[in-house]
Chains A and B, each alone.
Chain A
Amino acid sequence: KNEVEQSPQNLTAQEGEFITINCSYSVGISALHWLQQHPGGGIVSLFMLSSGKKKHGRLIATINIQEKHSSLHITASHPRDSAVYICAVWGNTGNQFYFGTGTSLTVIP
């Protein structure tokens, strides 16, 4: 079983819709990251959080440490948001990331 589980695996939305991607993890963590991987393959770090909530433009990330769960929300989605969104957690017993398998988002105009 993967240490990090994401849902849904695939998501198609109409432009303008509110989108939520979920991430659950089973290990103790020090921090959680949300990454964005574009079709060309490049990876960009969107958020790094260890508690509460962060907002950047139309993106909002929340984390509930007790429930071992995080969500990434996209408001007013746009076709350029189409990408794979990856949840990654930094375990508190080592030096490595554990990655989810990603959520492939397609936003249709």
Chain B
Amino acid sequence: NAGVMQNPRHLVRRRGQEARLRCSPMKGHSHVYWYRQLPEEGLKFMVYLQKENIIDESGMPKERFSAEFPKEGPSILRIQQVVRGDSAAYFCASSPRQGVYNEQFFGPGTRLTVL
């Protein structure tokens, strides 16, 4: 059973470009969480999705960021018109069910560098 997959592992973008980060949850997992880890800072929650639904996006910046988890395919975190401050490691995690007692399994992360 493959773990959570994220790609690309490293992504370099110039200011103003778009960044698309992909997350394939573990088999059988229908809940996906995205987190951001800024340099020298802790992880911060961004968004929680179930298949075709955004459950909680309270941690997402209001502009330029969007996330989806379609019925088929990976979850996508999209950052439009990237700025240097978006440079960070972006982690996704998946769990099989909703609920606080369900362990989250983390992907290896995508390291975004904005030049």
Contacts and interface: CB of A to CB of B under 8 A. Distances in A.
Interface of A: 2, 30-31, 33, 35, 40-45, 48, 50, 86, 88, 90, 92, 94-102
A95 B48 contact: yes
B55, B100, B104 pick with most chain A CB within 10 angstroms:
B100
Given A41-B89, A96-B48, A101 B106 contact: no
Please report whether the interface of chain B is mostly helix, strand, loop or mixed according to DSSP: strand
Nearest to B47: A96
A31 B89 CA distance: 25
B45 interface: yes
6 contacts: A2-B42, A30-B100, A33-B104, A42-B106, A48-B101, A99-B44
Given A42-B108, A42-B109, A50-B101, A95 B43 contact: no
Nearest to B102: A48
A100 B48 CA distance: 19
A6 B31 CA distance: 28
